Structure 1
């Protein structure tokens, strides 16, 4: 992606997604002002063709945007809305205004009642693009009852629609896009994890170089260096895996690449958060210090759209469905950067 786009997104998020604004939204303040800034930027339609007033970019080109959203822990579904809007246009549906969450997993529909459990960004979304077990529905959150379902500062919520919402849009499987919502969400959260991991590593390095013990920065001690080196390894492995998940010539992620990217990023998320807090010591658990704004997101996004065990099992099932293919050939042909 042209550096002009990347720099513009970075500047936008640095101005609107500050620690103060994140804390305010987590405590219940409206996201309207932040979302208006994002909508006016025009980036939400970057994946749409120019004929539809988009930028005509592909998924690989907007990957830096997703990274920035993770790096600044943007408390609205920016990446998910971009992907949902592209998906809806591909399905022949004009997307509505407002933030859109993607629920590829965890949605139950029974006798007209729809439940979405622990929906990521459920507290701050206007719409939910939900897989109903075949057909897809675009559901307005305003017509649902909401139950807070996360830990402190979580933006997730469990939503329930007692009856099918009048403002909702049903999309038949025959008309829906070829890309499953689960892989769409997986690619987005892989990129968000990678971006948040970069921020956590940078904060940890800065602290280790400033905090002194026994007359020298703690970053000079071998035990701390070992932890930071492992953090750096996992952070950059996550970055590469997320980039693979988003490596596509059009707007849509490939299934196996999205599965691999999410599995690898989810696996690293908890370890990166743990080591960051270990290096920071007591200051890392204080509310005043901003580390938790990003480590909490790492833990939450690790589970969003399926954790590492879920996606590893999907990759394994794909391999087992090809009995004529060896594991090595599968890795080289299906899971490599060249394959992407």
Structure 2
């Protein structure tokens, strides 16, 4: 992650938000999202997304990217989640694209995806631990199996981080060299099985700060940003529906029991957005171990509460395919399982607290990752 001077402000360009919102508002119709679930892709939405340069945001222009900060990229991902855009925005840019640019590997014209690292503690679903042999000319042969790889079936190149002689290396594999079994997640988005039976590719040493742990953190941040947008939109749908729906002569939003659901959902939407913005801001400055861990745990827990509240407020309407609520709730339940479960990030935060000790706990909470430096 690109370090900035201490105290240097990180401001998200409002034009980024406005442009992404207009783009998705036009293209991500209910019919388009439904069709993508059936087809496993939405090429017209993805092509329009790439035309704006958002697919390579937060990658330096010198490396062929669009520039901008990680906070800008997180804001774009928030809009992806807000509109349930069925595209690999996180994998192509701030994950796979970041790995390629960091290691100095060539980027293809087509889609890039990334194999998530497998958690040693089983802390999240999917991922892979692959073995690699690297020759002196940078050619690599990879063996292993990876589960739940996002959008693998649509990718031109699949990127992973492997260990070679005790050091992390970034490996780029043509998807055509891999055996890919299409599988969807709960939301109908591709989470495919990738088998690497001696797949040939290119490899380069990973620079300092780029390894499986940093990829897991960056992946967790991407999911927090996506979830922040989805919870916000799910909350707005619920407010609109309960104000329009009339029972016993008045909108159901006026009933106290329903108002309680609305308050819970609104609280969670605000909480996750704040956590996402804080984590992205600190990650743009430099280290954000504490902020990302806390944000992913907050988002995971909020997704469960907000989904329950919004579906209860909608009643049977929220369960129908014709109504868009499920586009958000099913994505939330899928994303909360990726790059760290509640138990995983709770353990990470607990270890940080124990490591800080009694005298450092207050500073850890108030200063965040700055207290870990």
Cα distance change, pair 264–126 in 1 and its aligned pair in 2 (3 A) = farther
1:104 to 2:117 alignment: yes
Task: Structure 2: give runs of 5+ residues left out of the alignment.
Answer: 1-11, 119-126, 133-141
| Stretch moving more, 302-311 or 197-206 | 302-311
User: How many aligned residue pairs are there?
Assistant: 337
User: What's the TM-score once normalised by structure 2's chain length?
Assistant: 0.81
Q: Which residue does the alignment assign to 1:69?
A: 80
Secondary structure, counterpart of 2:79 in structure 1 = helix
| Stretch moving more, 15-24 or 107-116 | 107-116
1:151 to 2:186 alignment: yes
1:92 to 2:104 alignment: yes
Residue pairs, 1:219-230, within 5 angstroms: 219-230=253-264
Q: Which residue does the alignment assign to 1:214?
A: 248
d(CA) in 2 for partners of 1:53, 1:147: 30
Q: Which residue does the alignment assign to 2:122?
A: none
* CA displacement at 1:101 relative to structure 2: 3.1
Secondary structure, counterpart of 1:135 in structure 2 = strand
d(CA) in 1 for partners of 2:352, 2:149: 27
| Stretch moving more, 236-245 or 89-98 | 89-98
**Aligned partner (choices 333, 341, 355) of residue 307 of structure 1:** 341
d(CA) in 2 for partners of 1:253, 1:35: 31
* CA displacement at 1:135 relative to structure 2: 3.3
**RMSD between aligned residues:** 2.7
Secondary structure, counterpart of 2:198 in structure 1 = coil
1:57 to 2:91 alignment: no
Q: Which residue does the alignment assign to 1:268?
A: 302
d(CA) in 2 for partners of 1:75, 1:254: 28
Deviations 1:287-306 (A, max 9, x none): 11111111100100111111
Cα distance change, pair 252–138 in 1 and its aligned pair in 2 (3 A) = farther
Deviations 1:95-135 (A, max 9, x none): 22333333133212258532111223445444333233543
Cα distance change, pair 86–146 in 1 and its aligned pair in 2 (3 A) = same
**Aligned partner (choices 191, 197, 203) of residue 170 of structure 1:** 203
**Aligned partner (choices 75, 84, 91) of residue 80 of structure 1:** 91
**Aligned partner (choices 111, 117, 129) of residue 147 of structure 2:** 117
d(CA) in 1 for partners of 2:286, 2:89: 16
Contact 1:47/1:251 (CA < 8 Å) preserved in 2?
Answer: no
Q: Which residue does the alignment assign to 2:7?
A: none
| Stretch moving more, 292-301 or 95-104 | 95-104
**Aligned partner (choices 211, 232, 237) of residue 198 of structure 1:** 232
Contact 1:81/1:100 (CA < 8 Å) preserved in 2?
Answer: yes
Deviations 1:185-236 (A, max 9, x none): 0111000000000110010000000011111000000000011101111111
1:23 to 2:57 alignment: no
Q: Which residue does the alignment assign to 2:160?
A: 130
d(CA) in 2 for partners of 1:252, 1:24: 40
Secondary structure, counterpart of 1:132 in structure 2 = strand
| Stretch moving more, 274-283 or 34-43 | 34-43
d(CA) in 2 for partners of 1:18, 1:115: 35
Cα distance change, pair 160–125 in 1 and its aligned pair in 2 (3 A) = same
Residue pairs, 1:261-300, within 5 angstroms: 261-300=295-334
d(CA) in 2 for partners of 1:26, 1:252: 37
Task: Structure 1: give runs of 5+ residues left out of the alignment.
Answer: none
* CA displacement at 1:323 relative to structure 2: 4.0
User: What's the TM-score once normalised by structure 1's chain length?
Assistant: 0.89
| Stretch moving more, 267-276 or 217-226 | 267-276
Contact 1:78/1:99 (CA < 8 Å) preserved in 2?
Answer: no
Cα distance change, pair 92–154 in 1 and its aligned pair in 2 (3 A) = closer
Cα distance change, pair 49–173 in 1 and its aligned pair in 2 (3 A) = closer
| Stretch moving more, 214-223 or 55-64 | 55-64
